Amino acid sequence: MRIVMLGAGYVGLVSGACFAEFGVDVTCVDPDKGKIDRLHQGMIPIYEPGLDDLVKKNVEAKRLNFKTGLDQCETGADAVFIAVGTPTRRGDGHADLSYVYQAAKDIAGYLKEDHFTVIVTKSTVPIGTGREVERIIRAENPKADFAVASNPEFLREGAAIGDFMRPDRVVFGTSDERGAQVMRALYRPLYLIETPIVQTTLESSELIKYASNAFLAVKITFINEIADLCEKVGADVQEVARGIGLDGRIGKKFLHAGPGYGGSCFPKDTLALVKTAQDKGAPVRIVETVVDINDKRKQAMAGRVIEAASGSVKGKTVAVLGVSFKPNTDDMRDSVALDVIPALQKAGAKIKAFDPVAMEEAGKLLSDVTWAQGTYEALDGADVAVILTEWNEFRALDFKRVKKLMKSPVLVDLRNIYKPQEVLNQGFAYSSIGR
């Protein structure tokens, strides 16, 4: 089979490389010539464990290649995937679909009347987008033989390849049987490992993606609020989370208390769902509340650091460990660091920070930060340290060494990666979430 992937960003590049690994002939198209040139040179524009090797392997096998435009691709693809960005639109919170609709216009010029092609929205898009994509293409090219399908991605940054190769489920929506046959053929390797395949309508498929992310955001926010209650009543949120997570109806995943969710999906997708639901007269008030609570929570985290530093960070050095929104990625989108660091600077703190992979990206978004070349360099001379991202290398700190390096042994662990008594026994003042 042969497919074209419009967009060589996170979703497009990972999905394209994984399809190529399945034996599909894949062309990733992106208008960013610099990105395409780097890909031709074997340089991966995003950090994702294992992706560089997967791309290299399939480029060498001639199953994966890169172009800057659809006009450079051979006609006759079985499917064209739309995997472009859908960022939050400035001003109203809706998803910006301009890239999706431009892709639809470009695809219209690519399609032929003598070859059937499935147009697949891989990007996360509001309900009704697939119908609009179909309308645009039919208006631009009435003779084209095609169908539109929705095939949302469920890739976690840092674990995306495994999520594609061994997913919990595959979802696609289309009302065209020929289109459904193409989708089943593309995902046939996953049938062999008995992956559940959910075939539904365009609208249901689009909503499944938003509802999934919104539910997980609700779950995160719920345990964060329970953590706040734990602090008031003397309970331990980790024990509470384990106790409720063992209930099969609830499950243990996404019950880790912390500073609030961030990243490329949850913030924009919850907001887009809220706006869509409001427009349709069926508001999702639980999700509306979650969005508000999460925003305020991230903003409040700097206050915890200030409180741990005896009520003031003016003139003090704060060592920040981790700035990406989660480990195993360099993604800074809606990272809690973007709230905490500026707030600490406004309160008079000097910031020394270290992150294993995200410092280059973070440097574009944060100013007046001293970037260290390692964990202990960041801690050297600090009055207080704060763990913002739970990278593995922060999980086994040499506390005797840390105590000698820091001006005062104060640790704020916003990811609960240490047991309180262990740190207290090392002579540190220790603050965490919900314990």
Residue 16 in contact with residue 44, Cβ under 8 Å? no
Q: Taking a C-beta distance cutoff of 8 angstroms, is the pair 226, 240 a contact?
A: yes
- Which amino acid would we find at residue 156? R
* Residue 157 contacts residue 332 (beta carbons within 8 Å): no
Q: How far apart (Å, rounded) are the C-alpha atoms in residues 358 and 284?
A: 34
Query: Hey, what are 285's tokens?
Result: 């008030």
Partner residues linked to 86 by β-bridges? none
Q: What is the DSSP letter of 238?
A: H
Q: Kindly report the number of other CB atoms within 10 A of residue 293's CB atom.
A: 17
Closest among 343, 349, 359 to 319, alpha carbons compared: 349
Q: Identify the helix (H) or strand (E) that includes residue 371.
A: strand 369-371
Rounded Cα distance between 66 and 28, Å, is 5
Per the structure block, which two tokens stand in for 422? Answer: 């262990």
Q: Cα(323)–Cα(305) distance, rounded to whole angstroms?
A: 15
Q: How far apart are CA 311 and CA 181, in angstroms?
A: 63
Catalytic residue (choose from 18, 28, 230, 265): 265
Q: Which two tokens stand for residue 99?
A: 């890239």
Tell which residue, 313, 358, 320, 357, has the closest CA to residue 339.
320
Quick count: other Cβ atoms within 10 Å of Cβ 244? 16
Cα 12 to Cα 27: distance, rounded to the nearest angstrom:
10
- 230 in active site: no
CA distances from 285 to 186, 214, 226, 278, 294 (A): 38, 11, 19, 9, 14
8 A C-beta contact, residue 139 and residue 110: no
Compute the residue count for the chain.
Answer: 435
The residues carrying an active-site annotation are 265
